[in-house]
Amino acid sequence: MAGRIVEVGKSLHARGWAPATSGNFSARLADGSIAITVSGAHKGKLEADDIMRLDPNGSPLEDKKPSAEAALHVQIYKAHPKARAILHVHSVPGVALSRVIKGDELVLEGYEMLKVFPGITTHETRLSLPLVDNSQDMDDITSALSSRLKDVPAYIIRNHGFYVWAESMSQAENLVEGLDHLLQCEIETRRISQ
Amino acid sequence: MAGRIVEVGKSLHARGWAPATSGNFSARLADGSIAITVSGAHKGKLEADDIMRLDPNGSPLEDKKPSAEAALHVQIYKAHPKARAILHVHSVPGVALSRVIKGDELVLEGYEMLKVFPGITTHETRLSLPLVDNSQDMDDITSALSSRLKDVPAYIIRNHGFYVWAESMSQAENLVEGLDHLLQCEIETRRISQ
Amino acid sequence: MAGRIVEVGKSLHARGWAPATSGNFSARLADGSIAITVSGAHKGKLEADDIMRLDPNGSPLEDKKPSAEAALHVQIYKAHPKARAILHVHSVPGVALSRVIKGDELVLEGYEMLKVFPGITTHETRLSLPLVDNSQDMDDITSALSSRLKDVPAYIIRNHGFYVWAESMSQAENLVEGLDHLLQCEIETRRISQ
Amino acid sequence: MAGRIVEVGKSLHARGWAPATSGNFSARLADGSIAITVSGAHKGKLEADDIMRLDPNGSPLEDKKPSAEAALHVQIYKAHPKARAILHVHSVPGVALSRVIKGDELVLEGYEMLKVFPGITTHETRLSLPLVDNSQDMDDITSALSSRLKDVPAYIIRNHGFYVWAESMSQAENLVEGLDHLLQCEIETRRISQ
């Protein structure tokens, strides 16, 4: 799994989704532990040593420092028992939209690409993704999300980026591609709608 | 042909035109059957097994599930006897333009790049491409297009993407490049025209 | 030289500057003849056979069909005796700007990147590039440019693309990069200036 | 170190940040001398010979011509004793923003990505980067910056590009990625805020 996360890091970084040392990725292993990127590693240049294990509550199982956002991964795995992979990336359209949209949701409606999300079978869907304020205290974010995670496939942190999760790493990668495409379409539409 | 489609998939995905498992590609073989991508495959990671054969009416000739949009390919091959390749991609400018343009046509006028389409020999052309609403029922889309396909080289499905076809796979790839370029020019022009 | 042009084609196509079969490139050889891309070749997939020779007046020296825009290359070589390479590319910001700018010039002012052009040593420059209407008759374009080519390093054809020339192929490639950068800056500035 | 700078040049050029022969990069060596790119070299095609040494005051230690902006590197190394690498790139959003923002600062506020800069630990930061006018006389630029460099991690030259510095070349590369991401977010936000 470390090798798979290293490979995903290269791919996501190459697409511009993990600039500098931003972004963080994890997988839930068969024994329920979590393999997650360590704090501060450049995601396009990960090595096996940059992946470490946590228990299901987020306690390190190795003497390394996990991603500062590990608590967000822990929360998602608890809310979504089938999730086996989580990817957090920094998306320019996502950040820009989050700066102009007030309120706590980002709505995507009518797009065929919404079908990338599990359970969505038609473009005639109004998908409301939680849009929560950023904080350096992960408790603020987990609190804001605590009652909202169950029925959504992703969320956006204002001025920061988005989180997606899925039953496999490949499917999680698809969600990153799909959601970024949707956010690009949304922002392009807004630009020519003014 | 399977190998050629696999290669085209990698190329189109690398350009951002087939995010997640979107997009679908086909070729008409010498015996009139259709080789098409199966349902749900990631187009940037196709393998020979992800290509299957259909008869000219769209009935599977193998025990696999064809692209959900196979009926659209069948319709195009019947309307255009010379077409031997069809590519369907998701283009961000295409989706954005389709969200702001009301009505059933997307007009491209005055561009030198219009000459990428067969039969167009001058930029002094007003090309009207069918712009049809999306539907999860392919019958809705084929009905909307039934009287409109004959004299056009491409069409756009609102909130979804576009279809191009050509006498060879290489020419179809050229049409994807050319139409996406035109849509980018159209959207960039609109942005600075406001 | 054929090999060099083939290589340049791959590079320019990979950057999105020669979609479909658009674009055309040439070099002036030591004997004064011109090596130019043939008509209709995809510039990202050139082979040595796709490069042919013309005499200085544009008459083919081989039994092949030269680029439809060969006359424009001939005109530039005559106007600029030191030029040894000409590159014509399709640039999205160039096309979009040409659609909104009325008149016969595209002005770029104040950019450090203007120094990519020979003879310009300061950003405190107002560079006026000829902006001519497109035509399928090369005589229309050469006429529009006839008195204007001498003191400029590039020109733009409305709805089409731009031409640059230089004393070497490498320098011509730099001009493509530099001018496209300038056009991107110009269009980005206009977008946020409205 | 020459090899490292050559490699950084390829990477930054491939990302579109050093078009034509623009951009310049340096590193401070253990003996206090500066290894810097020579004047006029294409930064994506650097060779070891295109890197030369200067003393801490900017005097060449080799018979080559250093980057025209060497004095800016010298000033940064003196103002920031821990800096061991400086990267100057041309960023399209940076140039566009600098053309619309009047005054002498470019403010970035509220972004998680601000944490890429040393000393910034929260998105709840208002970072004011010096925005100085361009000049062909480096004395104009160093004068404008002389009292402003101490507490900032980067600056922007209007109509030109930006400078970042760090304690290692890798960290400097991260700052280029991070600052360009921030500038893209800023410009995208402005576009949909109008």
Residue from B10, B15, B47, B95 whose CB has the most chain A CBs within 10 Å, to mutate: B95
- Contact assignment for C100 to B189 by CB distance below 8 Å: yes
Token representation of residue D19: 């078009």
Model-level pTM?
Answer: 0.96
Band of residue B193 on the pLDDT scale cut at 50, 70, 90: confident
Nearest neighbour of D190 by CB, restricted to C112, C170, C192: C192
Residue bearing tokens 């990267």: D87
Chain A interface includes B97 (CB < 8 A): yes
The pLDDT score that the predictor gives to residue B7 is 96
Q: Which tens digits make up the pLDDT trace of A38-86?
A: 999 999 999 999 999 999 999 999 999 999 999 999 999 999 999 999 9
Chain A interface includes D121 (CB < 8 A): yes
Contact A24, A69 (CB under 8 A): yes
Token representation of residue D162: 């930006």
Token representation of residue A115: 């079908």
The distance of D45 to chain C (nearest Cα, Å) reads 11
* Integer Cα distance of A35 and B59 in angstroms: 45
Which H or E run contains B181? helix B169-193
**Within 10 A of C175 (CB to CB), how many other CB atoms are there?**
22
Band of residue B1 on the pLDDT scale cut at 50, 70, 90: confident
- Contact assignment for B123 to C100 by CB distance below 8 Å: no
Please list, in sequence order, all residues whose beta carbon lies within 8 angstroms of the beta carbon of residue B105, skipping any fewer than 6 positions away: B128, B129, B130, B131
Nearest neighbour of D99 by CB, restricted to C124, C174, C189: C189
Contacts of B153 in chain C (CB under 8 A): none
* Integer Cα distance of B123 and A40 in angstroms: 53
- Contact assignment for C20 to B177 by CB distance below 8 Å: yes
Token representation of residue D95: 């140039």
* Integer Cα distance of B109 and A44 in angstroms: 42
Residue from B92, B111, B112, B175 whose CB has the most chain C CBs within 10 Å, to mutate: B112
Rg of the Cα trace of chain C?
16
- Contact assignment for A188 to B92 by CB distance below 8 Å: yes
Q: Which chains contact A through at least 3 pairs of Cβ atoms less than 8 Å apart?
A: B, D
| pLDDT at D173 > cutoff 80 | yes
Q: Which tens digits make up the pLDDT trace of A111-156?
A: 999 999 999 999 999 999 999 999 999 999 999 999 999 989 999 9
Report the residue of chain C nearest D13, measured CA to CA.
C177
Which H or E run contains C130? strand C126-132
The pLDDT score that the predictor gives to residue C186 is 97
Contact C161, C22 (CB under 8 A): yes
Contacts of A166 in chain B (CB under 8 A): none
* Mean local confidence (pLDDT), D173-184: 97
Report the residue of chain C nearest B124, measured CA to CA.
C135
Q: What DSSP string runs through chain D?
A: -HHHHHHHHHHHHHTTSS-TT--EEEEE-TTS-EEEEBTT--GGG--GGGEEEE-TTS-BSSSS-B-TTHHHHHHHHHH-TT--EEEEE--HHHHHHHHH--SSEEEEES-GGGGGSTT---SS-EEEEEEE---SSHHHHHHHHTTTSTT-SEEEETTTEEEEEESSHHHHHHHHHHHHHHHHHHHHHHHHH-
The pLDDT score that the predictor gives to residue B194 is 73
Low-confidence ranges of chain C (pLDDT < 50): none
Q: Which tens digits make up the pLDDT trace of C82-123?
A: 999 999 999 999 999 999 999 999 999 999 999 999 999 999
Contacts of C127 in chain D (CB under 8 A): none
Amino acid B60 reads: P
Q: Which tens digits make up the pLDDT trace of B144-163?
A: 999 999 989 999 999 999 99
Q: Which tens digits make up the pLDDT trace of D88-123?
A: 999 999 999 999 999 999 999 999 999 999 999 999
Residue from B45, B99, B184 whose CB has the most chain A CBs within 10 Å, to mutate: B99
The distance of C97 to chain B (nearest Cα, Å) reads 7
Q: Which tens digits make up the pLDDT trace of B111-134?
A: 999 999 999 999 999 999 999 999
Contacts of D111 in chain A (CB under 8 A): 95, 159-160
Backbone φ, ψ for residue C25 (5° rounding): -135, 145
Chain B interface includes C22 (CB < 8 A): yes
Band of residue D193 on the pLDDT scale cut at 50, 70, 90: confident
For chain B, positions 161-180, list CB contacts with chain C under 8 A.
170, 174-175, 177-178, 180
Classify C72 as helix, strand or coil: helix
**CA of residue B107 relative to chain centroid, distance:** 17
The pLDDT score that the predictor gives to residue C124 is 97
* Integer Cα distance of C159 and B185 in angstroms: 9
**Within 10 A of B120 (CB to CB), how many other CB atoms are there?**
15
Beta-bridge partner residues of A38:
A66
The pLDDT score that the predictor gives to residue A87 is 98
CA distances from D51 to D1, D16, D48, D167 (A): 9, 21, 6, 19
Cβ pairs bridging A and B (under 8 Å) = 72
Nearest neighbour of D174 by CB, restricted to A42, A100, A190: A42
Contacts of C187 in chain B (CB under 8 A): 188, 192
For chain A, give the mean pLDDT: 96
- Contact assignment for B188 to C22 by CB distance below 8 Å: no
Q: Which chains contact B through at least 3 pairs of Cβ atoms less than 8 Å apart?
A: A, C
User: Could you give the ipTM of this predicted complex?
Assistant: 0.95
Burial of A148 (0-12, 13-18, 19+ CB in 10 A): middle
Chain A interface includes B136 (CB < 8 A): yes
Nearest neighbour of C191 by CB, restricted to B112, B121, B191: B191
Q: What is the percentage of chain A residues whose pLDDT exceeds 70?
A: 100
Cβ pairs bridging B and C (under 8 Å) = 71
The pLDDT score that the predictor gives to residue D1 is 85
The distance of C174 to chain D (nearest Cα, Å) reads 4
Ordered structural domains, chain C, with CATH = 2-193 (3.40.225.10)
Nearest neighbour of C174 by CB, restricted to D21, D160, D191: D21
* Integer Cα distance of A93 and B96 in angstroms: 14
- Contact assignment for D112 to A159 by CB distance below 8 Å: yes
Nearest neighbour of C92 by CB, restricted to B122, B124, B181: B181
Residue from D7, D177, D183 whose CB has the most chain A CBs within 10 Å, to mutate: D177
